[in-house]
Amino acid sequence: MKKWQRGGCITAIVAATLSITTSAGAQTPPAPVTLTVTQLKPTVYEIEGVGSNSLIIIGKTSVIVVDAKTTAEAGKQIVAEVAKITPKPITTAIITHSDGDHVNGLASFPAGLTIIAHEGNKKEQEAALAAGGRGAPPADRLPTRVVTGSKETMTIDGVKVELYHYAPAHTSGDLVVYLPELKIVATGDIIAPQRALGNPAIHPEKNGSTAGWIVNAKAIAKLNADIIMPGHGRLQTKADVEAQAKAAEEKRAKIEALVKQGKTLEEIKAAIPELPVPADAPQPGTVVGGRGAGQLTYTDVVYAELTRK
């Protein structure tokens, strides 16, 4: 295990092999996948790779995990990595939103798990489960405790946690997870550095909102946090989040002005070109969103919201 220091965080790069099979019938050899385990604070770790970033929080007698990655196999790997860090059991999971790459790993988490999510998240998972097929969550790992208001404060095994639902943003059921005593915030896919600046990921089919996204991004930037963990990609700073909020707000205002002028979507896209994707974005093939997250641009969603009858 290799350890190195960067920005006050100790990082251990751990190689894991997850079995991946093709749907065409023939099996391919297991593909090597690298998980990066980073110690953020003495009792807090990030596990990056194979879908969502996951936050590991060690309490007095147990472990809290924020977001559970894409597959049951990836969830199994989270459990294995936690066991290397501490003998304490995983008893609580907090899920930032309903996309499968943040939920499906729960299938390999221990039985009797407390799963905390926003009520909109639970409804979206129930709808996906009823529809079946790709994206359906584990039937026995639906949320067991729901957040219904804009803020809920709780202490879980000695760890103070503040959960915020400022407004629908990426989905209707987003939660921002804030650890005030540790100055760490997990944003889920509200903050998505793998996207082009000014092009946050919004799920209109899950009643996400561009106006709500701006509210969320501004609120996240105001939290007293020195570590901001996005849903995917590198850790963020307040300045990073402020830049994303500013770009999205300014772009939305430009789109709104052009809509009022009667411009078509094609004309608006020609007038407001997309900014480039960040150089450190995940490589093609990395799971970075849920259904449709990469297919609609922010301009598409803003235009649809502003022209909806």
Q: What is the pLDDT of residues 213-251, one digit of tens each?
A: 999 999 999 999 999 999 998 999 999 999 999 999 999
Question: Is the pTM here over 0.75, yes or no?
Answer: yes
Euclidean distance between CA atoms 171 and 162, whole angstroms: 19
The pair of three-digit structure tokens given for residue 52, joined into one six-digit string? 């969502």
Q: How many CB atoms lie within 10 A of CB 245?
A: 22
Cβ-contact 100, 70 below 8 angstroms? yes
Euclidean distance between CA atoms 106 and 54, whole angstroms: 12
Strands (DSSP E) found in the chain: 2-6, 9-18, 31-41, 44-48, 54-58, 63-66, 90-94, 114-118, 145-147, 151-156, 159-164, 176-179, 184-188, 227-230
Whether the pLDDT of residue 49 is over 90: the answer is: no
Q: What percent of the chain shows pLDDT beyond 70?
A: 81
Between 13-22, 192-201, 204-213, 284-293, the lowest mean confidence (pLDDT) is in: 284-293
Residue 270's contacts (CB-CB under 8 Å, 6 or more residues apart) are: none
Euclidean distance between CA atoms 86 and 213, whole angstroms: 36
Between 108-112, 237-241, 280-284, the lowest mean confidence (pLDDT) is in: 280-284
Instruction: Please report the pLDDT score of residue 5 as a whole number.
Output: 41
Dihedrals phi, psi of 60, to nearest 5 degrees: -65, -45
Between 46-50, 123-127, 254-258, 279-283, the lowest mean confidence (pLDDT) is in: 279-283
Instruction: Please report the pLDDT score of residue 23 as a whole number.
Output: 41
Range 8-17+30-281+293-307 classified under CATH 3.60.15.10: yes
- HSE at residue 279, side-chain half, CA atoms within 13 A, is 0
Residue 35 or residue 25, greater confidence? 35
Cβ-contact 35, 81 below 8 angstroms? yes
Q: What is the CA radius of gyration of the chain?
A: 19
Euclidean distance between CA atoms 277 and 68, whole angstroms: 25
Residue 295 or residue 130, greater confidence? 130
Most confident listed range (192-206, 225-239, 290-304) = 225-239
Q: What confidence tier does 28 reach under pLDDT thresholds 50, 70, 90?
A: low
Instruction: Please report the pLDDT score of residue 284 as a whole number.
Output: 36
Dihedrals phi, psi of 185, to nearest 5 degrees: -130, 135
Q: What confidence tier does 8 reach under pLDDT thresholds 50, 70, 90?
A: low
Q: What confidence tier does 197 reach under pLDDT thresholds 50, 70, 90?
A: confident
Q: How many CB atoms lie within 10 A of CB 238?
A: 16
Euclidean distance between CA atoms 64 and 55, whole angstroms: 8
Q: What confidence tier does 10 reach under pLDDT thresholds 50, 70, 90?
A: low
Instruction: Please report the pLDDT score of residue 9 as a whole number.
Output: 56
pLDDT mean across residues, the chain? 86
Residue 192 or residue 263, greater confidence? 263
Instruction: Please report the pLDDT score of residue 219 as a whole number.
Output: 98
Instruction: Please report the pLDDT score of residue 12 as a whole number.
Output: 55
Q: What confidence tier does 278 reach under pLDDT thresholds 50, 70, 90?
A: low
